[in-house]
């Protein structure tokens, strides 16, 4: 029998089914036998413990995983949730019941909104169950153990568990709930995990049944032949080879370099092994965050040079420090801000403390002049052409050869033609561009449903930048989460993007998808997307408009 859902990526895997164990009993709504102040203290300790565990997992993760887990931490600390928990305890309920009912209530509000907002409700429900499990002293979300790689089947899987799955054990993930835009799916893509979500009926598949999970077709086959299983396992073995990947291109030969987002030497080596044609985003803040004092020019230059050298001569695009009130630095006193997402961050930090930027530019010049590879440098959070010109002036004065900016603020996208007059290249950060376009803090779980780069408003802004890039005959890259989505990558190229930078695990799927379509075909797909009324509508219009399947 075949079960149909929605695939994440294009991978295929086979193995025995193992179900996720749910070991937390549902709390009863009866009156508490403990004093109210004791129940309140128990609830506080449990929430603190859950927040600390999620924060620990966030610190062990990178990119999308770190962002999603950090957002969950903020959900745990949401004062509205606490007020509801406290009110329930004051009414005589236990801490277990109060936590369970409060998070379920908040999740219900998101579900009632429908669309992508409803998809985020699972994050709140997960936090509620984690809190209840902590209060009861029982394990939560027990991942099965097996002597061979298996297919993990669950009603849904939390982002926190997806982020730490052992990929030597879990061959694929299948859920009866969820969606391709939910946090769990985003993390599955970032980790290169074969996944099919929203597959109704899969919970009926008995444990140890051998299945084939095909993300490209969104199917789970519970009755495959032995030959089919062996073929899939052979394909996966072959796909793990370290043979050099072909350059990214469309079917008619239009070159679209596929680059990687990295934050360390280890990341750079992994990207190269997985076929990256360079680095489209080197996150230089890895040297700054958590440091008690500003890293010296020499320390910075040494680290940057090592990363560039690890790419074997391929281009590396470094982003200057992207920190500030939203990512505080102990040695940089920016003071308290009510809304740090709209405050001193990105290039604004460098404008406020020019010595910080000056030292970093000097270190990057030393890396450029070391002769170990090609280095481009860009600044984040540019608001307009004047700010772009200010950065370019300082970067050129320092001695940098290739200077660009990131467009993450809608105002900058609207004046992209003017920006291109002063820069060598532009890179779009779709995560922040979406955040600011939709007026939805990407770290606030309550509005996470708005964080969808498929929204036509976001795509139209990208199209404006693409038109400006084409007119200026200068490069345009995308280095946000959107580039990791094979289908959305087609749309981005159709909008004028000339290179894509992504998590290394997404390179294979994006490359194999892009090469199936011509530049004219992806332009037509882009037209379908921007003409839609919603993010979901854009996604479905592109799926329906594909001239042939992606694989």
Cα 211 from chain centroid (whole Å) = 28
What token pair was written down for 376?
Answer: 């481009």
Residue with the two structure tokens 């074997």: 312
What token pair was written down for 489?
Answer: 């990558």
Rounded-to-integer distance, Cα 129 and Cα 146, Å: 25
What token pair was written down for 388?
Answer: 């772009």
Residues 6+ apart with CB under 8 A from 349: 321, 323, 324, 332, 334, 356, 357
CB 265 within 8 A of CB 307: yes
Residues shown for the chain: 551
Residues 6+ apart with CB under 8 A from 108: 121
What token pair was written down for 17?
Answer: 């089914």
Rounded-to-integer distance, Cα 441 and Cα 439, Å: 7
CB 507 within 8 A of CB 526: no
Radius of gyration of the chain (CA): 24
Rounded-to-integer distance, Cα 35 and Cα 325, Å: 40
Helices and strands counted in the chain (H then E): 22, 16
φ/ψ of residue 276, rounded to 5: -65, 140
Q: Which is catalytic among the residues 100, 394, 412, 479?
A: 479
Catalytic status, residue 394:
no
- 3-class secondary structure per residue, 123-168: HHHHHHHHHHHHHHCCCCCECCCCCCCEEEEECCCCHHHHCCCCCC
Rounded-to-integer distance, Cα 328 and Cα 330, Å: 6
Rounded-to-integer distance, Cα 397 and Cα 360, Å: 13
Cα 153 from chain centroid (whole Å) = 23
Catalytic status, residue 479:
yes
φ/ψ of residue 122, rounded to 5: -60, -30
Q: Which is catalytic among the residues 100, 183, 394, 455?
A: 183
Residue 207 CB coordination number (10 Å): 11
What token pair was written down for 112?
Answer: 């009632």
Rounded-to-integer distance, Cα 528 and Cα 547, Å: 13
Rounded-to-integer distance, Cα 327 and Cα 64, Å: 16
Q: Identify the three-state secondary structure at position 240.
A: coil
Show which residues are catalytic: 183, 479
């Amino acid at each position: 029998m075949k079960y149909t859902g929605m695939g994440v990526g294009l991978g295929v895997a086979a193995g025995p089914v193992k179900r996720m164990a749910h070991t937390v009993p549902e709390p009863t709504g009866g009156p508490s036998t403990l004093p109210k102040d004791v129940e309140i203290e128990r609830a506080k300790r449990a929430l603190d413990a859950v927040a600390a565990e999620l924060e620990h997992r966030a610190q062990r993760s990178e990119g999308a995983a770190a962002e999603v887990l950090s957002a969950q931490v903020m959900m745990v600390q949401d004062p509205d949730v606490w007020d509801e928990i406290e009110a329930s305890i004051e009414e005589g309920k236990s801490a277990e019941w109060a936590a369970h009912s409060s998070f379920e209530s908040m999740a219900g509000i998101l579900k009632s909104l429908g669309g992508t907002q409803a998809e985020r409700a699972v994050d709140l429900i997960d936090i509620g169950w984690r809190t209840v499990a902590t209060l009861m002293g029982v394990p939560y979300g027990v991942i099965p153990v097996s002597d061979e790689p298996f297919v993990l089947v669950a009603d849904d899987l939390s982002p926190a568990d997806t982020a730490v799955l052992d990929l030597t054990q879990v061959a694929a993930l299948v859920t009866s709930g969820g969606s391709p835009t939910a946090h769990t799916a985003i993390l599955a893509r970032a980790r290169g995990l074969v996944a099919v979500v929203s597959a109704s009926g899969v919970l009926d598949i008995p444990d140890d049944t051998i299945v084939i999970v095909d993300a490209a077709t969104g199917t789970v086959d519970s009755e495959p032949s032995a030959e089919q299983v062996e073929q899939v396992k052979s394909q996966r073995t072959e796909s793990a080879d370290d043979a050099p990947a072909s350059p990214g291109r469309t079917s008619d030969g239009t070159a679209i370099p596929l680059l990687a987002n990295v934050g360390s030497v280890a990341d750079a080596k992994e990207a190269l092994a997985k076929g990256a044609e360079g680095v489209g985003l080197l996150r230089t803040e890895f040297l700054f965050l958590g440091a008690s004092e500003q890293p010296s020019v020499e320390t910075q230059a040494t680290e940057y040079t090592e990363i560039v050298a690890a790419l074997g001569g391929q281009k590396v695009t470094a982003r200057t420090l992207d920190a500030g009130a939203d990512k505080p630095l102990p040695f940089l006193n920016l003071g308290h801000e009510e809304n740090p997402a709209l405050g001193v961050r990105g290039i604004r930090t460098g404008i406020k403390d020019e010595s910080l930027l000056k030292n970093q530019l000097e270190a990057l010049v030393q890396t450029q002049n070391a002769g170990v590879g090609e280095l481009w440098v860009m600044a984040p959070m540019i608001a307009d052409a004047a700010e772009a010109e200010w950065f370019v002036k300082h970067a050129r004065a320092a001695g940098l050869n290739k200077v660009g900016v990131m467009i993450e603020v809608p105002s900058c996208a609207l004046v992209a033609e003017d920006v291109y007059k002063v820069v060598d290249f532009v890179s779009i950060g779709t995560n922040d561009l979406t955040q600011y376009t939709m007026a939805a803090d990407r770290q606030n779980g309550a509005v996470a449903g708005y964080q969808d780069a498929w929204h036509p408003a976001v795509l139209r802004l990208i199209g404006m930048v693409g038109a400006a890039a084409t007119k200026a005959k200068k490069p345009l890259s995308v280095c946000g989460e959107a580039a990791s989505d094979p289908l959305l990558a087609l749309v981005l190229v159709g909008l004028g993007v000339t290179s894509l930078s992504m998590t290394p695990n997404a390179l294979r799927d994006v490359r194999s998808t892009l090469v199936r379509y011509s530049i004219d075909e992806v332009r037509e797909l882009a037209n379908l997307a921007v003409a839609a009324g919603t993010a979901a509508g854009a996604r479905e219009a592109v799926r329906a408009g594909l001239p042939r399947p992606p694989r």
